[in-house]
Amino acid sequence: QVQLVEFGGGLVQPGGSLRLSCAASGFTLDNYAIGWFRQAPGKGREGVSCISSADGRTYYLDSIKGRFTISRDTAKSTVYLQMNSLKPEDTAVYYCAAAFSSCSGYGSFYRYWGQGTQVTVSS
């Protein structure tokens, strides 16, 4: 059974930090690129970050570069998104998704999706 499960979201004050996790099961994580997407209220889905399977290359949305870091732990079959210096505009539902081998900024490229986890940045 193929599953992606996100957790680690919650309410945080501006300037705070959260670490999101994406736990994969039912497929070999090393064969897939894992991307993080988010959808803010009233807006479309936006690609945030991705880590490729072939070479581990990482990609980031310009607006979050330097604040967020994506990483993977193959032994735990988990991908993480460390989010620092959070801003109110980071508020969104965050989703992880898996695509075979390569990263893409387009959500339609990804085969598997998690259920999402809410991140709220507010005082």
- Range with top average pLDDT, 28-37, 89-98, 103-112: 89-98
* DSSP three-state, residue 1: coil
Residue type, 114: G
Residue 23 has pLDDT above 90, yes or no: yes
pLDDT digits (tens, 9 = 90+) for 83-99: 999 999 999 999 999 99
121, 103, 86: which is closest to 36 by C-alpha?
103
pLDDT digits (tens, 9 = 90+) for 34-84: 999 999 999 999 999 999 987 889 999 999 989 999 999 989 999 999 999
